[in-house]
Amino acid sequence: MKVIDLSMPLYTGMDVFPGDPEVKIDVVHTYEKDTWELRRLNMGSHTGTHVDAYSHMHQGKQNLDQIPIERFFGKAQVVECDLEWPREVGLFFTREVGIEKLNKIVDLNPRFVGGNITEDLERALLGREIITYTGLVNLELIPKEKPFIFYGLPLKITSGDGSPVRAIAVIED
């Protein structure tokens, strides 16, 4: 079994989507002063590697805490735009995929979609209650067209529109 970390690190001053809150991580307590460490995290819910709830772009749709936890992990594949895609698994794209692929994606009933997708495609997928992941890294380390198990669990934020995740791919040898 091989585990690949698909998450980018979070740090003060990291790049964020224009208009989103800047990331600031402060040390509040130290071993020397307090005998423990603690950091304060200030950032938006769509910072770094993150998952989007349907409510992110569609008023009245389900928030993170309303979506069953089982929807945030499962069988997945990294796929190429010009090849056949599997049904009912998560689809991850290394090359940009836009709204023109919406019907093809929806017809396959994926558990979730992520990687290099356009904002228009993200909005359309969320409107059809397909979870999206953005800010993923290291997808190129996963063999294309080979199934793996993906985990991208959000924080359980009440009325959450999105959440940073620690995303991983588990590949069987």
pLDDT per residue over 84-126, tens digit each? 999 999 999 999 999 999 999 999 999 999 999 999 999 999 9
pLDDT at 153: 97
CA dist 122 and 99 (Å) reads: 8
- From the list 87, 79, 78, 82, the residue with the least C-alpha distance to 149 is 78
Asked if the model's pLDDT at residue 173 lies above 90, the reply is no
Give a yes or no: residue 12 inside a domain: no
Judge whether 10 and 25 are in contact, CB under 8 Å: yes
Confidence of residue 66 (pLDDT cuts 50, 70, 90): very high
The string of pLDDT tens digits covering residues 98-107 is 999 999 999 9
The string of pLDDT tens digits covering residues 18-38 is 999 999 999 999 999 999 999
pLDDT at 165: 98
CA dist 47 and 143 (Å) reads: 27
CA dist 54 and 71 (Å) reads: 12
What CATH number did the domain enclosing 72 receive? 3.50.30.50
Asked if the model's pLDDT at residue 145 lies above 90, the reply is no
Judge whether 83 and 102 are in contact, CB under 8 Å: no
Domain encompassing residue 52? 2-6+45-171
- From the list 173, 9, 171, 6, the residue with the least C-alpha distance to 76 is 171
Give a yes or no: residue 132 inside a domain: yes
Confidence of residue 57 (pLDDT cuts 50, 70, 90): confident
Give a yes or no: residue 98 inside a domain: yes
Structure tokens at 32: 């020397």
pLDDT at 47: 97
Neighbours of 136 (CB within 10 A): 24
The three-state secondary structure class of 140 is helix
Mean pLDDT of the chain: 95
**pTM exceeds 0.85:** yes
Average pLDDT of span 6-12: 98
Give a yes or no: residue 21 inside a domain: no
Give a yes or no: residue 26 inside a domain: no
Q: Is 130 exposed, middle or buried (0-12, 13-18, 19+ CB in 10 A)?
A: buried
Structure tokens at 39: 């950091």
Give a yes or no: residue 30 inside a domain: no
Tally of domains in the chain: 1
Question: Which spans in the chain are helix H?
Answer: 31-34, 102-107, 119-127
Structure tokens at 67: 């979506």
Phi, psi of 171 (to 5 degrees): -110, 125
Give a yes or no: residue 156 inside a domain: yes
pLDDT at 28: 97
Strands 2-5 and 24-29: unpaired
